[in-house]
Structure 1
Amino acid sequence: MMEIPAINLKAIVLVHWLLTVWACMEGLPLSYAWGNLSVLAVGVWAIAQRDSIDAVLLFLLGMILTILTDIIQFGIYYPLNDFKAVRGFSAGMAILNLLLKPASCFFVYQMYRERGGDYNVNFGFPSVSRNRDTYQSIDHQEESSSPANPFNQAQDSKPGVRTY
């Protein structure tokens, strides 16, 4: 099996930042800049906190979402007339940025797994599990409590006062 090359998160953020800055020179709306630069800010957070699973997961999800928003913005705002060299350069950099994002998402996902992330992404919603290994049987009581002392109170404490 082929080894996946280790790509530094700093390099990913730097390349996408440079391409985003060049893409914002002319022709695309401010929403392109805000969307991409805010995701790159989350990438800086993922760089700063090397052990954070949440930071790298949010960066990955942001990159995936900007793939969709970039396609929509190109479809709406791509200059069909009044072609200038600067506008063509900006559009080319934006398209190159978009083409590199799936590969970046792949490498960021690998970093997410290296930091301890699960294969399946959990958004915190409750789920039903059939694993009953962690359940304790109600037939067996703890050895420290007895039927005469059901609340596990100390024998010398005052009556009516519970120790928690």
Structure 2
Amino acid sequence: MELPAVNLKVILLVHWLLTTWGSIVFGGAYSWANFTILALGVWAVAQRDSIDAISMFLGGLLATILLDIIHISIFYPRDTITATVHFSAGMAILSLLLKPFSCFLVHHMYRERGGELRFHSDFLGPSQERSAYQTIDSTTEGPAEPFAGLEARGPDTRGY
């Protein structure tokens, strides 16, 4: 499937604008969480080859999906509904609705930078081939005790 060519800067700009408008009503923790994640996005833009930057931005976007749901559901103003409250809440909700799509696009960018799916399990796909690894089985040759046989060599006379 061919993804649309969306620049990371566009994703940041859209979420920055929606977060700014959403912060009119939902300040405090909502603003801190979202603007912190946008700062990680700026880091991902600044370091184009960094897998850490893009993975932290992706993880932060995923975390703010849950945080936004909790924050909006708890702090939605129910008593004073003005046009400003409607607009601000609508922008916060729109930002929340766009975040899964943004996560999808950022994950694609993460894979382009060389990131891999880190959760390998039998139900997620084939496991890594391990036949070339050296075994650490205790039945192979060698002493059972880790330092057995060292006292037979005598003192170290190399001079350091």
Fold shared by both chains (TM-score > 0.5): yes
| Cα distance, 1:132 vs structure 2 | 3.4
Q: Structure 2 CA distance, aligned partners of 1:76 and 1:29?
A: 13
1:43 counterpart residue number: 41
Residue 157 of structure 2, aligned match among 149, 155, 160: 160
Amino acid paired to 1:11: V
| Cα distance, 1:121 vs structure 2 | 5.0
Moved more, 77-86 or 49-58: 77-86
1:7 counterpart residue number: 6
Deviations 1:92-150 (A, max 9, x none): 1000000000000000000000000012259xxxxxx87131439x99xxxxxxxxxxx
| Cα distance, 1:7 vs structure 2 | 1.1
Identity %: 52
| C-alpha RMSD over aligned residues | 2.3
1:45 alignment partner, SS class: helix
2:4 alignment partner, SS class: coil
Q: Structure 2 CA distance, aligned partners of 1:38 and 1:162?
A: 56
Q: Is the 8 A contact 1:29 1:77 kept in 2?
A: no
Q: Is the 8 A contact 1:46 1:59 kept in 2?
A: yes
Pairing 1:88-99 to 2, within 5 Å after superposition = 88-99=86-97
| Cα distance, 1:6 vs structure 2 | 1.7
| Cα distance, 1:162 vs structure 2 | 7.5
2:29 counterpart residue number: 31
Amino acid paired to 2:57: F
Moved more, 89-98 or 76-85: 76-85
2:16 counterpart residue number: 17
Specify whether residues 35 and 133 from structure 1 end up closer, same or farther in structure 2 by C-alpha distance, changes over 3 A only: same
Amino acid paired to 1:18: L
Specify whether residues 162 and 104 from structure 1 end up closer, same or farther in structure 2 by C-alpha distance, changes over 3 A only: farther
Return 5+ residue gaps in structure 2 as ranges: 121-127, 142-155
| Cα distance, 1:5 vs structure 2 | 1.1
Specify whether residues 67 and 132 from structure 1 end up closer, same or farther in structure 2 by C-alpha distance, changes over 3 A only: same
| Cα distance, 1:46 vs structure 2 | 0.3
2:108 counterpart residue number: 110
Q: Is the 8 A contact 1:35 1:66 kept in 2?
A: yes
Deviations 1:5-42 (A, max 9, x none): 121111101110010001111x2131000000000000
Amino acid paired to 2:51: I
Q: TM-score, normalised by structure 2?
A: 0.77
1:64 alignment partner, SS class: helix
Q: TM-score, normalised by structure 1?
A: 0.75
Residue 53 of structure 1, aligned match among 51, 54, 73: 51
